[in-house]
Amino acid sequence: MVNLDIKPLNNLSNLSALALNIQDNQSNIENLSLKNLKNLKKLHLYSIDFVQSNIDEIGNLSKLEDLWLNGSNLNKVNLDPLKKLTKLSELKILGTNYEEYNITKNQLPIYSLTSLKSLTLSYGAIDTLPKEIGNLVNLKYLDLNLNDITEIPEEIGNLKKLEYLNLESNYFTELPNTIGNLENLKQFELNWTPLKKIPDSFGNLKKLEYLDLKQNKIENIPKVLGYLKNLEYLNLGWNKIDDELPESLSSLTKLKYFEIRGNVNIKGKTLTNDSLETCNYLNVKETHYSLCVAKDMECFKNGFGSVSQLQPCHSSSTTTPNKTPTKTSTESSTKTTTSVSTNGRCGKGIGSCPSDHCCSKYGYCGHSSAHCGAGCQSEFGICNSSTTTTPNKTPTKTTNGSTTKTTTSISTNGRCGKGIGSCPSDHCCSKYGYCGHSSAHCGAGCQSEFGICNSSTTTTPNKTPTKTTNGSTTKTTTSISTNGRCGKGVGSCEPGKCCSKYGYCGTSANYCGTGCQSEFGICNSSTTTTPNKTPTKTTNGSTTKTTTSISTNGRCGEGVGSCEPGKCCSKYGYCGTSANYCGNGCQSEFGTCYANDSSSITSSKKTTITKKSSTKATTTTKKSQSTTSHDGKCGEGIGSCKSGQCCSKYGYCGTTSGYCGSGCQSEFGRCN
């Protein structure tokens, strides 16, 4: 062990910020006299066995604005000196032993610190939340996750400036009605509790944008959720819900992410919000929902599971006939009257599409070539021209100064190119020979002879994925799938999409990550069809790899699985991204973990332990002050998120669409 002398710090009377991670070198704290550092505004102390003199000296730092305490013995010292920190705006106290609570309600003098704007008490820091929490009326951020709180006091409703609230992993079974008073709340983490019911006052949270209710004991879908018009993220997964999906949720015009898989039974219709980007209704093997598909949605392709086992919804009424499609045979012409579908489905026994829609061969209404091209049901909607010989496009080719015109037919099956035909007038013909509007169709390789193109495009043959085996290269040509499925015997995804290991096309990590089938679409690097996450363990100088599966229920660890990429596995076996998950006790075999913290003004000892290994590596590191945030917050004057995390528009780090989507701050983390 190397002892680092930190006594010189005692002479830095003008020091304004100090972060110390003592770890095993406990004697260092005894050599530090905080009483001389009168100008400190920021003090972060990690992994410390606190003694009373430490707390007494901290209480005399009258200019202190930001204080973090992480360590043991906090339940054995008198914290009353902290009352004197009247300028304190941020306080974080993290416990170190979940079985022995570090602070009881009688030892928390902090509720008189009305200047506080951010308060974190987590990781077993408290076992009771006293009513005095209501005194902190200036709080904007409150994190109480991973405690053993059994009751939420009514006084929490006094915190009307609160924008972020985290009650994750506690033991209360109900919430007070006063929770509806939090009129400025934007993000609510309310998961992993025995909570059974949501109070009706929830409907008053008009500014709420992010609501995570997964892994509770909720039995009914709260109807009041339909009033949350600013909601962008809603997770009801893994509860005990046996209820009908309220159609009012389809009126949430800003909703981008919806999840309800892992419940008892969901009835009714799938949501139809045009804003939805991801929707998770079922796990891959779930078949027990009494849910029907209201209409074909793009979000189905980005969800984790599948809706293929759900039946389409049938119109409950027989509307007045207002569509009269014409059938033409070689000898006679007859007309059949059908009702207009109102649920996005079409076909025999269902009805016709609205007047400007096509009915695809799979029975869905829409405008794309997949709807209007090959297999389009002309009895139930419009279709591209049924002839393959009508010349109505005359592209111009210039050769050696002379201009000639070539007449080509209009394609009716979504394909295009030499010997096939041209796209409809407003479509581009991609280099792979498909009609469409995206940059993949209209950009590089677009065939201008057979449709419109963006400038500076060239023509190349259809997609020919390449496989390399033992040094030799073979090429296999596959067709492009038009129903969102992919794989051997099905076809490839559209350009720009990945084929998941389950055979669905999409663009998220679920599609492009582990198990992605590169023969049938693009994939993230190093993610071809190989086993799930393979953490590395080092033992006596030799390296072995153990394959673990990716957890889908938020748990992790030995015999459970690894967390999703970018998340940490806490010592209690839960996946997350905050310091509670990524800090002390984090299981690096099953996810990412933080490095030890230190400041530019001190050297800290860093001990690296490889679990289940006989090897310990101890190094001494001197770090420069990092702008990387370790408290889950980010932004101007705060710092950037950890690698792989996004900085939300509200200044919090995370990995979901609530963080990485609209308003994401790319200067301080990645963004979608």
Q: Are residues 96 and 221 in the same domain?
A: yes
Tokens read off for 203: 């409907």
- Of the listed ranges 30-44, 425-439, 464-478, the least confidently predicted one is 464-478
User: Greater confidence, 251 or 439?
Assistant: 251
Give 615's pLDDT tier (boundaries 50, 70, 90).
very low
Confirm whether 225 is domain-assigned.
yes
**pLDDT surpasses 60 at 173:** yes
pLDDT band at 260 (very low <50, low <70, confident <90, very high): very high
Contact 276, 301 (CB under 8 A): no
210-224, 525-539, 618-632: segment of lowest average pLDDT = 525-539
Same-domain status, 368 and 514 = no
In which band, very low, low, confident or very high, does the pLDDT at 395 lie, cut at 50, 70 and 90? very low
Please report which confidence band the pLDDT of residue 534 belongs to, taking 50, 70 and 90 as the band edges: very low
- For residue 239, give both structure tokens: 């509860």
Residues 375 and 520 in one domain: no
pLDDT at 488 over 60: yes
| Mean of pLDDT values over 307-333 | 51
Per cent of the chain over pLDDT 90 is 30
With cut-offs at 50, 70 and 90, classify the pLDDT of residue 288: confident
CATH number of 37's domain: 3.80.10.10
Are residue 213 and residue 74 in the same domain, yes or no? Answer: yes
Using only the alpha carbons of the chain, give its radius of gyration. Answer: 30
pLDDT at position 256: 96
Query: pLDDT for 499-516, tens place per residue?
Result: 877 777 777 676 777 778
Q: Let me know: does 533 contact 515? Beta carbons within 8 Å.
A: no
Checking if the pLDDT of 651 tops 50, the result is yes
Please indicate, yes or no, if residue 431 is contained in any of the structural domains. Answer: no
191 inside domain? yes
Residues 228 and 81 in one domain: yes
CB 432 within 8 A of CB 442: no
Residues contacting 337, CB < 8 A, separation 6+: 321, 323, 324
Kindly state the average pLDDT of the residues 301-322.
Answer: 64
Cα–Cα distance between 154 and 171 in angstroms, integer?
16
Q: How many domains does the chain have?
A: 3
- Non-local (6+) Cβ contacts of 384 within 8 A are 358, 369, 372, 373, 376, 410, 411, 412, 424
Provide mean pLDDT across the span 246-250: 95
- Examine the pLDDT at 458 and tell me if it is beyond 80: no
CB within 8 Å of 176: residues ≥ 6 apart = 152, 153, 154, 156, 157, 199
Segment 406-435 shows an average pLDDT of 74
> Any alpha helices (H) in 345-432, and if so which ranges?
369-372
Higher pLDDT, 191 or 389: 191
**More confident call, 444 vs 81:** 81
DSSP codes joined into one string, 341-352: PSSSB-BTTTBB
CB 259 within 8 A of CB 239: no
Q: 360 is in which domain, residue-wise?
A: 352-382
Choose the weakest-confidence range: 123-127, 337-341, 643-647.
337-341
pLDDT band (50, 70, 90) for residue 118: very high
358 and 257, same structural domain?
no
CA–CA separation, 201 vs 203, rounded Å?
5
Structure tokens at 449: 């002879």
Please say if the pLDDT value at position 315 is more than 70. Answer: no
When mean pLDDT is compared across 100-104, 133-137, 212-216, 639-643, the lowest value belongs to 100-104
pLDDT at 347 over 80: yes
Q: Which of 277, 292, 307 is the last residue of a domain?
A: 292
Cα 399 to Cα 397: distance, rounded to the nearest angstrom: 7
147 and 278 belong to one structural domain? yes
CA-based max dimension of the chain: 104
- Spatial separation of the C-alpha atoms in residues 129 and 340, rounded to whole Å: 57
Regarding whether 170 and 253 lie in a shared domain, the answer is yes
Residues 6+ apart with CB under 8 A from 331: none
In a domain, 625, yes or no: no
Predicted pLDDT at 6: 72
**227, amino acid identity:** Y
Given the DSSP bridges, would you call strands 408-409 and 391-393 parallel, antiparallel or unpaired? antiparallel
The CATH number that applies at residue 506 is 3.30.60
pLDDT at 24 over 70: no
Flag whether the pTM goes above 0.75. Answer: no
Q: Is the pLDDT of residue 32 over 80?
A: no
Query: Which of 241, 262, 292 is a domain's end point?
Result: 292
Is 164 in the same domain as 267? yes
- Residue where one domain finishes, among candidates 464, 496, 524: 524
The answer as to whether 99 is a domain residue is: yes
Lowest-confidence range among 177-191, 345-359, 599-613? 599-613
Are residues 378 and 284 part of one domain?
Answer: no
Q: Enter the tokens of residue 596.
A: 């030890």
Looking at the fold, whether 207 and 125 belong to one and the same domain comes out as yes
Which spans in 303-405 are helix H? 369-372
Residues 6+ apart with CB under 8 A from 459: 431, 445, 446, 447, 448, 449
Residue 170, C-beta contacts closer than 8 angstroms, at least 6 positions apart: 144, 145, 146, 147, 148, 149, 150, 193
Rounded mean pLDDT, 58-87: 90
Domain match, 287 and 359 both: no
* Contact between residue 18 and residue 599 where contact means Cβ atoms under 8 Å apart: yes
What is the reported pLDDT for 585?
75
Quick one: pLDDT at residue 374? Answer: 80
Contacts for 313-319: CB closer than 8 Å, 24+ residues apart: 313/269, 313/343, 313/345, 314/343, 314/345, 314/349, 314/350, 315/339, 315/341, 315/342, 315/343, 315/350, 315/351, 319/351
